[in-house]
Amino acid sequence: MQSVIERFLRYIKIDTESDRKSDTFPSTLKQLNLAKLLEKELKELGLEDATVDKYGYVTATLPGNTDKDNVPVVGFLAHMDTSPDLSGENINPQFIENYDGVTIVLNAEKDIRMSPEEFTDLNKYVGKTLITTDGTTLLGADDKAGVAEIMAAVEYLLEHPEIKHGTIKIGFTPDEEVGSGVDHFDVERFGADFAYTVDGGEVGEVQYENFNAAGAELTIHGRNVHPGKAKLKMRNALLIGMELNELLPVFERPEFTEKYEGFYHLFQFGGTVEEATMTYIIRDHDREKFEEKKRLIQKAADFINEKYGDNIIDLELEDQYYNMREQVEPHPEIMKIAVQAIKTVGLPPKIDPVRGGTDGSRLSYMGLPTPNIFTGGHYAHGKYEFIPPFAMEKAVETLVAIAELVAKK
């Protein structure tokens, strides 16, 4: 049996960064390199229906081996792409053996360090092995750890036929990081009664709540005039954008929020005096507060337009996904199975809200209730991403336990 760590290290060597600005699906063709490898590996494991469809979705079926009737069909899903927030090319993972609780030097040449005072999750893993980046790329645990864990669980179940399970559906998706991961996913064809995304964080997490999400694109139309002749004529689009940003609540930014607190996140801002663009994501678990956040950014744009005239700001506001709780809560047995599985492998379950979204949030609204379980990774989307190998192994055990528990229901 290949270890989950071997699989993970192989998968992160394949660059699968997605692209927010692309108008294709998948957004980058290089994601298909991993998709085709996974199809090949699934077939080598004996899953004869493994396929990559025209959209880049990898699906396969692990047949059940139980004599029980009416066993629900469970799905396990993970996404293949990595975030465009930092390069996923030429990832060089580092192993920190028996972590001693001090600052980790990720890259001595560039003096990139990760201290437990600032990155406090490190304190949970003193004495454990960690896999980190080399300080120049992300690691790709989001979500190639989930991919590797599902693959390892499938292999383990095949090698241990004494573990009885029903039919299991496997799905690997592109473009989750750019919000379009299930745009073309055929839930009916997938054929699961319910599913789990393996796309969470800390070991032991299981989640059935996520943000309501919207995106805001603002285009600011300025007026450029030679600065020596600019009095009462120039309209600096960059400064007007800064002015709009100051109309939004300072303490409703990601760096000041946690748990169920929502935020406005300005993650792109650029341009010239003549024209500038700003891109926000808007998030809140509470639907009423989410709607109020959207109303407030609209009011800010309206205020600027009234102040300067000429509709100086164009605002495009679009909902992206909603809190899956509304769709999962009517099916409490799905969460009970996940919680029991985590307990079965010797972990205390952590039922926390997702401060983000998963493919599962949209799948739940497409008729496939899909909570999220842990991969073991921390600090995704950046150079400080790390994952403890033991957490990945526990994720594999948890998937196996879920398969077994579903068959016993």
pTM: 0.90
Q: What is the DSSP string of 382-396?
A: STT-EE-HHHHHHHH
Q: What pairing do the DSSP bridges indicate for beta strands 205-207 and 350-351?
A: parallel
Give the pLDDT confidence of 225-251 residue by residue, as tens digits.
999 999 999 999 999 999 999 999 999
Which phi and psi angles does 393 have, rounded to 5°?
A: -65, -40
Asked if the domains at 4-210+323-408 and 214-321 fall in one CATH topology, the answer is: no
What is the Cα–Cα distance from 284 to 356, expressed in whole angstroms?
A: 9
Mean pLDDT computed over every residue of the chain = 96
Residues labelled catalytic: 81, 176
Six token digits for residue 93: 């993972």
> Cβ-count burial of 29 within 10 angstroms (0-12 exposed, 13-18 middle, 19+ buried)?
exposed
Q: Average the pLDDT over 203-215 and give the result.
A: 95
Q: What is the CATH number of domain 214-321?
A: 3.30.70.360
Q: What pairing do the DSSP bridges indicate for beta strands 51-52 and 58-62?
A: antiparallel
Six token digits for residue 103: 């600052």
Give the pLDDT confidence of 273-289 residue by residue, as tens digits.
999 999 999 999 999 99
Domain 4-210+323-408 has CATH 3.40.630.10: yes
Give the pLDDT confidence of 86-112 residue by residue, as tens digits.
999 999 999 999 999 999 999 999 999
Q: So what's the pLDDT on residue 1?
A: 58
Q: Average the pLDDT over 173-192 and give the result.
A: 95
Q: Average the pLDDT over 363-392 and give the result.
A: 97
Q: So what's the pLDDT on residue 358?
A: 82
Task: Please determine, for residue 354, whether its predicted confidence score (pLDDT) is greater than 90.
Answer: no
From residue 255, alpha-carbon distances to 59, 123, 258 in Å are: 38, 20, 8
Q: Could you state, in order of their start, the residue ranges of all structural domains in the chain? A: 4-210+323-408, 214-321
Q: So what's the pLDDT on residue 329?
A: 94
Task: Please determine, for residue 2, whether its predicted confidence score (pLDDT) is greater than 80.
Answer: no
